[in-house]
Structure 1
Amino acid sequence: MIYKFIDEEGKFSVENPYRFSYLYFPLTNKEGSIFSSISPNLAGDIKKDNDRFLTIPVSIEDIKNNPLAKREFFIKIKENGKIFRLSLPWQKDRLEIGLLYHKLIKENEFFYTEVVNFVPFDLDVEVMWIKLINKKNVRYKPTFFLPLYGRGGKNLRDHRHVTSLLNRIKLQKFGIILKPTLVFDERKHRENDTLYFVWGTRNGKPPAGQFPTLLEFLGETLLWEYPEAIYKDKKPYQRKKKEFDGKEVCAALQFSSTKIKEAHYIFIMGITLSKKYIREVFLKLNNFKKVERYLNKTEEFWKKNLRLRFKFHNFNFDNWLLWVGTQPTLRKLFGCSFLPHFDYGKGGRGWRDLWQDLLTLILNDEEVETLILNNLKGIRIDGTNATIITSQGEFIADRNRISRVWTDHGIWPLLTLELYLRKTNNLDILFRKIPYFRDYQIMRAKEFDFQFNQKDNFLRTKDNKIYKGTVLEHLLLQNLIAFFNVGKHNFLRLENGDWNDGLDMAPQKGESIPFYCMYAYNFLILEELLKKIREERRIKRVEIFEELLLLLDSIYSSVDYSNYQEKLNRLNDYLEKTKFFIKGKKVKIEIEKIISDLRKKTDWMSEYVKKRAWLKKEKFFLGYYDNKGKPAEGIKKKRIGLLLQSQVFPLLSGVANKIQAKFVWYAVNKYLKDKELKGYRLNTDFGGNYLDLGRAFSFSFGDKENGAFFNHMVVMFAHSLYRQGFLKEGFKVLESVYKMATSPHAKIYPMIPEYFNREGKGLYFYLTGSASWFIYTLFKEVLGIKFSFGDLIIQPKLIRRNFFKDIIEVKFRFSHLPFHIIFIRPKREKGKIYRIEKGILNKRTPLKKEKDKIILPKKEIEKLPLKECLVEIYLR
């Protein structure tokens, strides 16, 4: 580890953080209405969304090499002319980070300083608080400097100079307000109403003056190392001059020289529509005591946000888990954008992200019903979906306005909804009626409706009425379409990619076997939900739109499942009938008949994969066919081609049998495990371009989707091994992620990054689905805590290596109650796998054990008092 934890609430420190390249940390508030990134050299950016950046948008190289991206503070000593900058290393440097703040502690022979940056949990500003102690009683003149950008991300390379001509500033007593005259958009220019501001104070008093443009601050030489305002002691401005208009702007706030022993400099940086808001926020934060109180409240807010807490009684692991548990919330707020590695995003979250982040949010007992319903509104009638959802809950067809389809998207909503239903028993949500998404993209992106001119994005009936179907109908639709959407080998069409975005060049003949397995698994989930509805709600029939009957073929008109063309014909018949609208007629179908239809489909799919996708010679699963219709894996040109996800999903879905699962474990260890770093790669080296499958293989081997240690799939591999009963193997894989994340090679803060490269360095911080799956796997599989429609089931899969001490604890909320479960291992061990000996509730009530699990029925839980429920599980 490059860091050291300093308390039990995740706080850590890094000595001399400048030694490590490309570190950054996210800052935001509870609503995600302002986003910041900050590095040890104070670089990063501050923004509200992709159209409103206070500072210049940064990519990963900018945080080291772009002086425009830095928050800077100059200290010039009058007696000797020495100049110190807070962005550069001093004699002593230490970084401290907590939930969610960033603190640099710097010291040299003249000064001791603490630089704290944070976003108050309920305000739309970033605060920078500099505590400066004058060790030698020297007279110094301080200047704060922040280049202001004040426009949208696209203007970085589109009319950069022209948009600077729109800049208008106001010099205020405590700072600067930038309000461009126009939002420059050649499709339709519009008047700008956004204010970009920086206000500052020293011990409650205003700056002496300002240098409001880059030219005024730097001088004609524009040398960042030697700004003329500092080196030539230029007099700062207190009033605006006309020539400041139309220039690149900066907040350069200079304070009068002083010999004060201890000074507190506070800078408030933000974006707003209201001058009143600037004044209100400034009054809340204009002295260090107010800032300190807000910092404490902010830290406390983020701590309370972590309702799911693990305690393995290992100081480093427990603290690391706090940060991993925070990651899903960060991605919920940031989406997949607005941090330096994520320079491809334009805001919002992708479809997969929506559903996988919900896993941990559900375990964290957050209110998610509205989120689930809003997300499901992104499903189209052809089984595809809008791929981006904004923070306002609006859907966008695609991040880059490209018509494309990811064939795995249909599996994630049901996987997440299953956890929600099991935890809440809210079966009513399945009958909530919601619309379908409709835009110009039809026939699974194969055709476009050029006549589409609706102002909204709702599917309509032939009578032009907005159609609404149940949540259950939406889920049936997504999964049934996948069954019929096959290639010539009778596996799921790959279309424009699946979970692996890098497999994007086989739209005609590509096929995805791993996700065909997952749709088979989803049919089993649907079957169970339908049985539950029938038993608990006494419902015998459910309502669907008439056209959907085509896909319930055993009810409507049977299709030969072994004939891929028949399946495609049936799908095309459905797509044609729902191309522009649906009739709007609903039919009621017996639940028993739907269950029977789904069972036929899942049985056929499972057997077909076992027979046709198992490579007998190599002893692992084939996962893909390429755009020439050829197998993508196996022995190819004297190389072994193998992708990790091709093995994960047959195991996770239960399609693979135990013998196949064992061979998969051997194959993955033989071909994908790195001997030095001990992690698991996403794929073997295919030797270069594979243009009949995807862009992934053109990346350098060991990066991104080409052979990196891609943590999302590695964690899902661990999850799948646990599901198959391979406990030691599953934990070994989980442990590999932790060990790589905390290795000196990783050079990262505590978290799970998207991937580790071939050197073991972590890349793409915080915003990754692997964190959700790690927490989910630890909770559900390792500790064996499961929900069953209101019941609590405890069925641990613990082994000796899971314990650092004699107990493992977990705290979470369930059924409106706080639970505290303690697993206690025996003093004398007989085997490496533990079983339950007994369970005790609240120190006195024995819990009933059924085989290897304990069940707390919903009826019993409802009788418990509204206080923490202590459950002690004694193992043998």
Structure 2
Amino acid sequence: MTWHFVDTNGTFRLENADQTSYLYFPLVNEAGMMSAITPTLHGDSKIDQHHFLTLPVSVEDLHNTRSPRDVWFFVEGHGPWSVAGNSARQIADRWTAHADRVTVEAGLLWHKVVRESGRLPLRAEILNFVPAGDDRVELMRVSLTNSGETPMRLTPTGAVPIFGRSADNLRDHRHVTALLHRVVCDRYGVVVRPTMSFDERGHTPNTTTYAVLGVDENGAPPQGFFPRLSDFIGEGGTLDWPQAVVQNLPPTHTVGDTDEGNEAIGALRFAPVVLAPGETRTWVFILAVWDDETTTPQALIERFGRPQLVAECLERTRAYWSARVDALRLHTPEERFNLWVRWVAVQPTLRRLFGNSFLPYHDYGRGGRGWRDLWQDVLTLLLLEGEEVADDLLAHFAGVRLDGSNATIIGHRPGEFKADRNNIPRVWMDHGAWPLLTVRLYIDQSGDLDFLLREQVYFKDAFTHRARRLDETWQPEQGTLQRDAAGNVVRGSVLEHLLVQHLTAWHHVGEHGMILLEGADWNDGLDMARERGESVAFSAMYAWNLRQLAELVDALAARGHTHFDLLEELLPLLQPLDDESPAAKRARLTAYFDRVSRTVSGRKIAVAAEDLAARLRAMSAALAERIRTQEWIADGDGWFNGYYDDHGRRVEGRWPDHVRMTLTGQVFTLMGGVADEAQVDGALASADRYLWDEAVGGYRLNTNFHEVKLDLGRAFGFAFGHKENGAMFSHMAVMFANALYRRRRAAAAWRVLERLYRHAQAFPVSRMYPGIPEYVDPRGRGMYPWLTGSASWYVMTLIQWAYGVRGVWGDLLFDPQLLPEQFDEQGNAEIETRFSQWRLRVRYHNPQRLPPERYRVQSVMLNGKPLSHEQGRISRAILHMLPTEQVHLFDVVLEDVGNTAKMTS
């Protein structure tokens, strides 16, 4: 049993889909409608944490609850049949000869279930999608076919329970909040508008309306309604055997009737139909949420209330989502991989729309995206959508505090930030490192070095000294903008913001000279070493970033920017230290924190570009050398220690009965050039020995420490092999592949990407739809699908490092590291992608199918004409002569380096 692609757009089909637990599919649009749906039509629909149309569900609820989207048919001579398979009789028939047959077919981004009854000649086709556009609706089209030889008389009843309030109320005043419901039976369905939003900290009037509407294929409305859940299921009844359907009771309400103070359900009774042999009838349902006065049930029916209107809307939605990923097309010998990558490419957009919440596994947080997610999700948008992201990137820098920390929750509007998560102020030590990675990618793609000179404000709230102290003078009414002593808003260049993040980090070190772990780093599970914990792993990333900052300063200087105006308070952090001990660094940093904790002078001092670049390089080199020498564990092939715990002890190494090693400790030391060549090979060999596990799809995040390390983090309380404790965690695994490509270990890098694909697409083991999971559990199941930062890194690594299509200061570079097996029999490999505003089709020609260490770019043809290049690098000036509305074909011939060497000698 597995899914199969059925077209060239990534549409897939899975038979017997109801026989796999935990499967769900996302449906979403830019307007904020978010849904999840399963093969049995479970899941939920909502617009945010406080506005759930249907019952909020976590992953275990998918098989524990009885409240799916449903349409019931009372069949004369038989009784109830549910298109969701939700009747008690159908549930009892599972794993018997009478079980329904269920097939899921899904595409970008729509979901269809085909259910064939095991007892009756009935076939239902249920299509669900959230239309692209401005409407917060989920559309559901139900078609029923009589596949028998005799007519069948049926009575249809749509049934979608309406929760109509905050997810908080699932366990907080659930009954009391139902008392707020005001229900109206509209001509087309059940409409619920609670009187208020219940919050004991301060109740507010409610302005949101929830509705379940429906029509038959001719546009006829329901004949009546059961708006009260208790009436629909009956006294002593349940949603899997509702009395109103089982006994085919007449509706309790008609058009214009009202109800209040009860749990609601959009139960819509339609006129009975006689279904002739071979005949199909269709009904359309609209699940809607709105908070404006112009949206009405009638208006929604006029837009969506016909099967043809649904079909037209579906085509627009398909086109919208296809356009999000069409910029990337692979042409490898394996078509399954080519199409699987389309699903990986859509995942960053799903993350942008869902955040890290609102899907059944992601039952934490309250919506919105975290700081780290924001910067990484832009990676794929830059590569695939060619969007003008500079303004958005600039807006994001408004979240940086002058102490180098940042607001941790991003609001809905660009530049809108909130101070903490779940009212818990927390600082992640790696947050300052990610913006530079994205900015460097943007500059390499666009050539827009002047972006570094654009100005932005700083974030200010009560938290100072990296959330260790409070500014008692700050009040919320003062707003969240940093001001100077005169009350003026402080602004600084993007370069200055990046310097604030990195200079503070370089000084914020523990007793071993590594940057303090604080609340955690990328690994949220390392959250119990706030005093003495240190992250060697991300110290390596900061060391790399400091070197990149120096390169950026040099590039600006080459364009005539010889001096940069920086905040007066920041300058001491650029001065060399006579005493470079950790204590001296922290003392200087504390003095800086004190100076910027409330207001600043507002004065700027000009710093010479040459001096700035030199100091940044020196800081980078000092930190990198310390890591390279101090943190290398010379055991066997060797590897880098990644952390110190809250007792100041080295975390990794050889214990009497086991080895402790993390993948994270190797990734950034390799990626950032901290590790020397021998250390790269040693760390890779150790990772292969201690972390690689074919059964879970690749490299584990860590070995089994055999200890609940309360002095490092909650991760070690998890069962080994789950989440941050030793799972194959896709994000770090893919970043390791990226690091290996950067260090020219192409075979090892491709092994990571290829094994992750092999595992994820092997449905009998992974039990997931196409795409990348957050991690793989010990049994091989793909966990937390759809929303993972690994998708952005997978796409970026594939395009820029495997296929080698990337930017360098705005120029286009071809630098492939494709293995012989990635070329077809003729020695060709092809990718369609986007570079800045240009769409490219790149064909590599490697007729001898040489390995990457044996070839280099010999010649480049552009649209059939020879093109000048410098070691595969194409000047942006040439690109500017190309129209942007067409796809440009680059034929790149790879030559044998050995033959070239013989010819030149």
TM range, smaller chain: over 0.9
Secondary structure at the aligned position of 2:273 is classed as coil
C-alpha displacement of 1:849: 4.7
2:814 maps to: 794
Matches within 5 A, 1:419-818: 419-455=441-477, 456-536=479-559, 538-554=560-576, 558-561=577-580, 563-618=581-636, 619-674=638-693, 676-677=695-696, 679-743=698-762, 744-805=764-825, 806-818=827-839
Q: Is 1:834–1:875's contact at 8 Å kept on the other side of the alignment?
A: no
1:206 maps to: 221
2:81 maps to: 83
C-alpha displacement of 1:486: 0.3
Distance 2:653 2:634 in 1: 10
Kindly tell me: are residues 224 and 627 of structure 1, through their superposed partners in 2, closer, same or farther at Cα, counting changes over 3 Å? same
Distance 2:257 2:464 in 1: 54
1:94 maps to: 103
Kindly tell me: are residues 717 and 389 of structure 1, through their superposed partners in 2, closer, same or farther at Cα, counting changes over 3 Å? same
1:305 maps to: 324
Secondary structure at the aligned position of 1:75 is classed as strand
Task: State the one-letter code of the partner of 1:450.
Answer: E
C-alpha displacement of 1:314: 1.7
Q: Is 1:439–1:457's contact at 8 Å kept on the other side of the alignment?
A: yes
C-alpha displacement of 1:515: 0.7
Most deviating of 506-515 and 810-819: 810-819
1:401 matches 2:423: yes
2:176 maps to: 162
- Percentage of matched positions with identical amino acids: 39
Most deviating of 585-594 and 83-92: 83-92
Distance 2:743 2:823 in 1: 22
Matches within 5 A, 1:185-334: 185-203=199-217, 204-239=219-254, 244-260=259-275, 261-274=279-292, 276-278=294-296, 279-306=298-325, 307-334=327-354
Task: State the one-letter code of the partner of 2:5.
Answer: F
1:64 matches 2:63: yes
Task: State the one-letter code of the partner of 2:145.
Answer: I
Q: Is 1:26–1:35's contact at 8 Å kept on the other side of the alignment?
A: yes
Kindly tell me: are residues 677 and 179 of structure 1, through their superposed partners in 2, closer, same or farther at Cα, counting changes over 3 Å? closer
Kindly tell me: are residues 872 and 625 of structure 1, through their superposed partners in 2, closer, same or farther at Cα, counting changes over 3 Å? same
1:138 maps to: 152
Kindly tell me: are residues 830 and 345 of structure 1, through their superposed partners in 2, closer, same or farther at Cα, counting changes over 3 Å? closer
Q: Is 1:796–1:835's contact at 8 Å kept on the other side of the alignment?
A: no
Distance 2:572 2:772 in 1: 44
C-alpha displacement of 1:875: 2.5
Task: State the one-letter code of the partner of 1:476.
Answer: L
Q: Is 1:799–1:833's contact at 8 Å kept on the other side of the alignment?
A: no
Deviations 1:533-564 (A, max 9, x none): 1112x11111111000011113xxx3432x11
Distance 1:315 1:339 in 2: 29
C-alpha displacement of 1:391: 2.5
Q: Is 1:168–1:246's contact at 8 Å kept on the other side of the alignment?
A: yes
1:417 matches 2:439: yes
2:11 maps to: 11
Q: Is 1:798–1:833's contact at 8 Å kept on the other side of the alignment?
A: no
Distance 1:248 1:61 in 2: 22
2:136 maps to: 124
Q: Is 1:652–1:719's contact at 8 Å kept on the other side of the alignment?
A: yes
Q: Is 1:502–1:696's contact at 8 Å kept on the other side of the alignment?
A: yes
Q: Is 2:197–2:203's contact at 8 Å kept on the other side of the alignment?
A: yes
Q: Is 2:370–2:409's contact at 8 Å kept on the other side of the alignment?
A: yes
Structure-1-length-normalised TM-score: 0.97
Task: State the one-letter code of the partner of 2:153.
Answer: R
Secondary structure at the aligned position of 1:796 is classed as coil
1:392 matches 2:413: yes
Q: Is 1:797–1:834's contact at 8 Å kept on the other side of the alignment?
A: no
1:147 matches 2:161: yes
Distance 1:831 1:478 in 2: 40
Secondary structure at the aligned position of 1:324 is classed as helix
Stretches of structure 1 that go unaligned for 5 or more consecutive residues are: none
Kindly tell me: are residues 865 and 296 of structure 1, through their superposed partners in 2, closer, same or farther at Cα, counting changes over 3 Å? closer
Q: Is 1:799–1:834's contact at 8 Å kept on the other side of the alignment?
A: no
C-alpha displacement of 1:862: 1.4
Kindly tell me: are residues 232 and 830 of structure 1, through their superposed partners in 2, closer, same or farther at Cα, counting changes over 3 Å? closer
Secondary structure at the aligned position of 2:812 is classed as strand
Secondary structure at the aligned position of 2:785 is classed as coil
Deviations 1:717-742 (A, max 9, x none): 11111111111111111111111111
Count matched residues.
Answer: 866
C-alpha displacement of 1:8: 1.0
Task: State the one-letter code of the partner of 2:517.
Answer: L
Distance 1:264 1:659 in 2: 67
Distance 2:80 2:535 in 1: 64
Q: Is 1:838–1:849's contact at 8 Å kept on the other side of the alignment?
A: no
Secondary structure at the aligned position of 2:773 is classed as coil
C-alpha displacement of 1:32: 4.7
Q: Is 2:697–2:756's contact at 8 Å kept on the other side of the alignment?
A: no
Distance 1:629 1:511 in 2: 8
1:379 matches 2:400: yes
Distance 1:459 1:785 in 2: 41
Distance 1:192 1:82 in 2: 37
1:107 matches 2:125: no
Task: State the one-letter code of the partner of 1:517.
Answer: A
1:33 maps to: 32
Deviations 1:121-141 (A, max 9, x none): 002210000111233420000
C-alpha displacement of 1:655: 0.2
C-alpha displacement of 1:599: 1.1
Distance 2:697 2:125 in 1: 39
Distance 1:17 1:409 in 2: 40
Task: State the one-letter code of the partner of 1:636.
Answer: W
Distance 1:369 1:795 in 2: 26
Task: State the one-letter code of the partner of 1:190.
Answer: T
Task: State the one-letter code of the partner of 1:372.
Answer: L
C-alpha displacement of 1:829: 4.2
Q: Is 2:25–2:111's contact at 8 Å kept on the other side of the alignment?
A: yes
Deviations 1:456-495 (A, max 9, x none): 2111111122111111110111011110000011111011
Distance 1:84 1:338 in 2: 26
Kindly tell me: are residues 113 and 834 of structure 1, through their superposed partners in 2, closer, same or farther at Cα, counting changes over 3 Å? farther
Distance 2:866 2:13 in 1: 44
Q: Is 1:824–1:873's contact at 8 Å kept on the other side of the alignment?
A: yes
2:94 maps to: none
Deviations 1:503-535 (A, max 9, x none): 110111101111111111101111111111111
Most deviating of 85-94 and 568-577: 85-94
1:2 matches 2:21: no
C-alpha displacement of 1:3: 0.7
Secondary structure at the aligned position of 1:47 is classed as strand
Deviations 1:288-326 (A, max 9, x none): 011101101110111111223322242100010000000
Deviations 1:618-672 (A, max 9, x none): 5111111111111111023422111110111110110000101111111111111
1:845 maps to: 865
Secondary structure at the aligned position of 1:596 is classed as helix
Distance 1:727 1:666 in 2: 15
Name which of 835, 858, 865 aligns with 2:876. 858
Q: Is 1:5–1:316's contact at 8 Å kept on the other side of the alignment?
A: yes
Distance 1:593 1:854 in 2: 33
Distance 1:623 1:604 in 2: 18
Secondary structure at the aligned position of 1:244 is classed as strand
Aligned CA RMSD, in angstroms, stands at: 1.7
Task: State the one-letter code of the partner of 1:6.
Answer: V
